[in-house]
């Protein structure tokens, strides 16, 4: 199906679903319109533990309206459990990649073409290419008593 046909098809579905007040299905159709209408949109990469599960409603909505591909990159051994957890949070994704070590995320980011990446651990953010936009999530594991936690390897005190 061509891009234009996909958008028009979902637009028709959206109108019909709103008219019969099926709002959950209408939301799904609306998200598909946004998904397909943009070309060359940035590829969004998301960490799962400490990131998606830290703000699940935000990431559910963001991933569904994000106009480009969405890739979950998680440091887990059990891919099926990772998919089940992502689905439990209602997060949309095109691809889910599991890595064995936190440091391997940078390579996964390059291989999947991620251009905007969200994570909570500095160890995962160290070797990401400078042309990738990095966003860091705050949680109890990386922020306490009003200060960011970092190690000598991941941070540099400036004063």
Residues that bind Mg ion (CB under 5 A): 47, 49-50, 120
- Nearer to Mg ion by Cβ, of 4 and 103: the residue is 103
Does residue 45 sit in helix, strand or coil? Answer: strand
Which long-range CB contacts under 8 A does 8-15 form with residues at least 24 apart?
10/36
CB of 119 to Mg ion, least distance (A): 6
CB of 54 to Mg ion, least distance (A): 8
Structure tokens at 157: 């005190």
* Tokens 């936690």, located at residue: 149
Structure tokens at 38: 């943009």
CB of 36 to Mg ion, least distance (A): 30
* Tokens 């089940």, located at residue: 84
Which residue stretches of the chain are H helix? Answer: 3-19, 23-37, 56-65, 79-88, 105-112, 122-125
- Nearer to Mg ion by Cβ, of 31 and 118: the residue is 118
- Nearer to Mg ion by Cβ, of 35 and 105: the residue is 105
- Nearer to Mg ion by Cβ, of 29 and 114: the residue is 114
CB of 159 to Mg ion, least distance (A): 28
Structure tokens at 141: 């594991």
């Amino acid at each position: 199906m061509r891009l234009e046909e996909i958008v028009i098809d979902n637009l028709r579905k959206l109108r019909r679903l709103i008219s019969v007040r099926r709002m959950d299905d209408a939301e799904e159709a609306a998200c598909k319109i946004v998904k397909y209408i943009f070309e060359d949109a940035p590829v969004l990469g998301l960490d799962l533990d400490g990131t998606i599960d830290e703000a699940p409603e935000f990431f559910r909505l963001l991933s569904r309206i994000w106009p480009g591909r969405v890739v979950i990159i998680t440091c887990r051994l059990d891919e099926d459990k990772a998919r089940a957890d992502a689905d439990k949070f209602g997060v949309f994704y095109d691809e889910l990649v599991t890595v064995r070590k936190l440091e391997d995320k940078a390579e996964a980011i390059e291989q999947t073409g991620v251009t905007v990446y969200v994570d909570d651990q500095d160890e995962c953010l160290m070797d990401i290419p400078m042309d990738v936009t990095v966003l860091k999530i705050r949680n109890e594991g990386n922020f306490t008593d009003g200060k960011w936690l970092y190690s000598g390897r991941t941070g540099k005190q400036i004063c």
